[in-house]
Structure 1
Amino acid sequence: MIRILLADDEMLIRAGVRAILDTDPELTVIAEAGDGREAVDLALAHRPDVALVDIRMPRLDGLSAGAEILRAVPSTGVAVLTTFGEDEYLSRALSFGARGFLLKSGNPRELLAGVHAIAAGGAFLSPALTVRMIDRLNGLHPVSEARARVEELTGREREVLALVGAGLSNAQIARRLHLVEGTVKGHVSAILTRLGVGNRVQAAIIAHEAGILD
Structure 2
Amino acid sequence: MQVKTVLLCKSFMLRVALEHMLAGSAFAVQNKADDENEQDRRSQRSGDHLFILDTASPLDETLAEVTSLKSQHPGSHVVVVSDSFDEGILARLCAEGADGFCLTSSNENILVKALELVMLGEGYFPSASVRNFLDRRMTSAVWNPPNHHDGEGPVTDGALKEQLTSREVEILGFLMNGTKNRDIAVSLNLSEATIKVYIQGILKKIGAQNRTQAAMWATSALLPKA
- What's the offset of the Cα at 1:150? 2.9
* Larger of the two Rg values belongs to structure: 2
The C-alpha deviation readout for 1:142-188, integer Å capped at 9, x for no partner, is 4994455838xxxxxx8xx798556389xxxxxxx9xxxxxxxx999
- What's the offset of the Cα at 1:121? 1.5
Contact 1:5–1:30, Cα closer than 8 Å, also in 2 = yes
* Aligned amino acid, residue 118 of structure 2: I
Indicate how the Cα distance of structure 1 residues 168 and 149 shifts in structure 2: closer, same or farther if over 3 A, else same.
closer
Indicate how the Cα distance of structure 1 residues 113 and 97 shifts in structure 2: closer, same or farther if over 3 A, else same.
same
Q: What is the aligned partner in structure 1 of residue 75 from structure 2?
A: 75
Contact 1:44–1:72, Cα closer than 8 Å, also in 2 = no
Distance 1:108 1:203 in 2: 29
**TM (normalized to structure 1)?**
0.60
Q: What is the aligned partner in structure 2 of residue 109 from structure 1?
A: 109
Distance 2:38 2:55 in 1: 16
Contact 1:110–1:126, Cα closer than 8 Å, also in 2 = no
Distance 1:3 1:72 in 2: 16
Distance 1:194 1:99 in 2: 16
Number of equivalences: 174
- What's the offset of the Cα at 1:131? 3.0
Distance 2:167 2:38 in 1: 38
Matched, 1:202 2:216: yes
Quote the RMSD (CA, aligned, Å). Answer: 4.5
Q: What is the aligned partner in structure 1 of residue 20 from structure 2?
A: 19
Structure 1 segment 80-159 matched on structure 2, within 5 A:
80-84=80-84, 86-132=86-132, 141-142=159-160, 145-148=163-166, 150=168
Indicate how the Cα distance of structure 1 residues 164 and 29 shifts in structure 2: closer, same or farther if over 3 A, else same.
same
Q: What is the aligned partner in structure 2 of residue 167 from structure 1?
A: 178
* Aligned amino acid, residue 10 of structure 1: S
Contact 1:81–1:104, Cα closer than 8 Å, also in 2 = yes
Q: Percent identity?
A: 16
Matched, 1:51 2:65: no
Matched position secondary structure for 2:53:
strand
Contact 2:79–2:98, Cα closer than 8 Å, also in 1 = yes
Distance 1:188 1:146 in 2: 8
Where does structure 1 lack aligned partners over 5 or more consecutive residues? 34-38, 152-157, 170-176, 178-185, 210-214
